[in-house]
A and B are shown apart, each in its own frame.
Chain A
């Protein structure tokens, strides 16, 4: 019994529909990455530049697990277990790098985690061909359902649905965590480590917890991504991806959940739309990488706290409504 039997939908998607499903799936993945990075950089105010490493660990963990147990297990449990395994791998990675490094301050932590991310990539690139595929990449068997020409549309819709369910779950979990006692302790440590320590909070434990949880979510994103792509290569998980994730977090506002998803949509949509344009589409496409970096710099100069700042979209909406109401009553 696979999930495919629950999906006799045979959804019809035109080329346009396929493109949109791809965009939405990537939005879900980058939202997951953004939300988890937001937990580290936005709420806990630690500075990590190694998130792409955890993403890669998750993707490769899931791929390895799937290949090992492919054929020994029915598809859906294998998919779920590979996701759990990927989260475990990334969490262990987060713990290994977090325990020694989280004592470091600000940019030292940033550079140490960046080094870690690069080590992960180099290690995968140099891995033996039969273990992790080396620089040529790894093929992930399709387990959740058979992907044929007929069911390709079903597969994409299913993956988008899974992606957004995970985004919703993560957002919910982060919101509740922030409002829990441990979450408030984490915010206190972010504000002032020494003062929080004097209040009986264990700063190291609080930081490591946030770091490991965020790594696990990044690993989950990697697992789903690997199953969706079907083939993964180490070069996909480069430092540019890290910058992209960071840009999503900052664009949406450090510490804003809805802003993060919104920014992921904005960025991925523009990127994919440009990729769709013909090669001679002119200046805007050719210089996109430059514009990308320029946006980052300008954003930092003019709105260093992101579009929304630490507020949610609902807060922005409420403030705007209050403003309009005030205007109207004045008139």
Chain B
């Protein structure tokens, strides 16, 4: 029981960490709380959703589960790339013009961009949540014999009274049905020669996957920041942007690249999030985005290991604290308060240790 909650917390924490990385990198360089970062995450989640739903990579003729893995691989890359490009575009169009206009103007621009992306998403994709498309495994009807091992479906298009064309999954064979000649013939009469079964991902497997992905990404980011020329330029720019410019570093390029990398990683988090929670909606980015910022602050803003540790701490705290309050102190409604607990945690951290766990103390110049 406790272990389940711990795993939930770690899985959620890994998602927070993926988002927090972008916050912390951007803040490190241009000292901007990029409110729109949660929306890059949301757009990544939508792109991943569409890839998983529409690309039909599950059909690739390899033994299972390779096609499903391929499916996720493509969805992750597409989500990350689109989120990254969107971030670069946003930086170019909205943030760069206000970079000199002061911190309040920049932060308010970020809030505006965040609302803008949210509402565009509402207009384009609709405000209703969509459920996560389970990966499908296709079987030719001829391959199936005897008792059905699972529920088998096929997609049918039909026209509603309003004249819209809707695709709907029809249950053709229930689990345990015996597939005899008459049944086969009746299905073929409906015009189907293949059916598919739905593979439900267990939340636990997704959690393992997210945690593994985080473990995989950490050295890549570490290498990028500590061992490449571009990373050196990033670190120089966050140390002192003006001096870095005088040294011939192209600050605009560095900032754009930072936005790209940050949003790229957030795209991974987006796909992981919808796979864990099973739905995607336009307001998806707001709360996780805010909490990821909390995570970045806990870990010490500007520090990459800090973002990862902060994310994991926040995720675990959010899962464990209500659990403890409920089980040990008998407070029934503790889970309804988990968001309030996260924000209270933020305020306490800000007040007690504003630099976070791994942040550098800010010196003040007079």
Contact = CB atoms under 8 A, between A and B. Distances in A.
Given A123-B340, A246-B108, A112 B347 contact: yes
Interface stretch (B95-103, B181-189, B202-210, B221-229): B95-103
A101 B352 CA distance: 10
Contact of B98 (A122, A126, A301): A301
Contact of A100 (B286, B294, B347, B366): B347
Contact of A47 (B32, B104, B109): B104
B129 interface: no
B337 interface: yes
Contact of A107 (B94, B101, B103, B339): B103
A300 B94 CA distance: 9
B113 interface: yes
Given A114-B290, A126-B337, A194-B364, A101 B123 contact: no
Residue in A243, A250, A254, A304 whose Cβ sees the most chain B Cβ within 10 Å: A304
A86 B324 CA distance: 35
Nearest to A297: B112
25 contacts: A47-B104, A101-B347, A107-B103, A108-B297, A111-B297, A112-B347, A112-B351, A114-B290, A115-B290, A115-B294, A118-B290, A119-B344, A123-B337, A194-B366, A246-B108, A287-B123, A289-B119, A290-B119, A293-B112, A293-B116, A297-B109, A297-B116, A300-B106, A301-B94, A301-B109
Nearest to B350: A112
B31 to A, nearest CB: 8
Contacts, number: 121
Contact of A300 (B101, B346, B347): B101
Interface in A266-306: 286-287, 289-290, 292-294, 296-297, 300-301, 304
Interface string B333-366: 1001101100110110011001000000010101
Contact of B33 (A111, A286, A304): A111
Given A293-B113, A297-B116, A301-B109, A122 B340 contact: yes
A123 B33 CA distance: 26
A300 B105 contact: yes
Contacts of A136: none
B256 interface: no
Contact of B97 (A100, A122, A301): A301
A87 B60 CA distance: 66
B98 A104 contact: no
A106 to B, nearest CB: 5
Contacts of A100: 347, 351
B247 to A, nearest CB: 27
A292 B123 contact: no
Interface in A11-65: 41, 47
A107 B362 CA distance: 14
Interface residues of A, number: 41
B243 to A, nearest CB: 22
Contact of B116 (A112, A118, A240, A290): A290
Main secondary structure of the interface of B (DSSP, over half): helix
Interface size on B, as a range, is 35 or more
Given A126-B336, A297-B109, A304 B101 contact: yes
A97 B109 CA distance: 25
A110 B109 contact: no
A297 B89 CA distance: 14
Interface of B: 31-33, 94, 97-98, 101-109, 111-116, 118-120, 122-123, 286, 290, 293-294, 297, 333, 336-337, 339-340, 343-344, 346-347, 350-351, 354, 362, 364, 366
A304 B102 contact: yes
B245 to A, nearest CB: 22
Contacts of A126: 333, 336-337, 340
A116 interface: yes
Contacts of A286: 123
Given A110-B107, A114-B290, A300 B98 contact: yes
Interface string A86-115: 000000000001001101111110111011
B96 to A, nearest CB: 9
Residue in A106, A115, A294 whose Cβ sees the most chain B Cβ within 10 Å: A115
A61 B298 CA distance: 33
A194 B363 CA distance: 13
Contact of B115 (A101, A112, A296): A296
Contact of B350 (A101, A240, A254, A304): A101
A71 B337 CA distance: 34
A140 B100 CA distance: 48
Interface string A120-143: 001100100000000000000000
Contacts of B112: 243, 293-294, 296-297, 300
A250 B286 CA distance: 23
Nearest to B96: A301
B116 A104 contact: no
Nearest to B337: A126
Contact of A104 (B32, B33, B354): B354
A304 B101 CA distance: 7
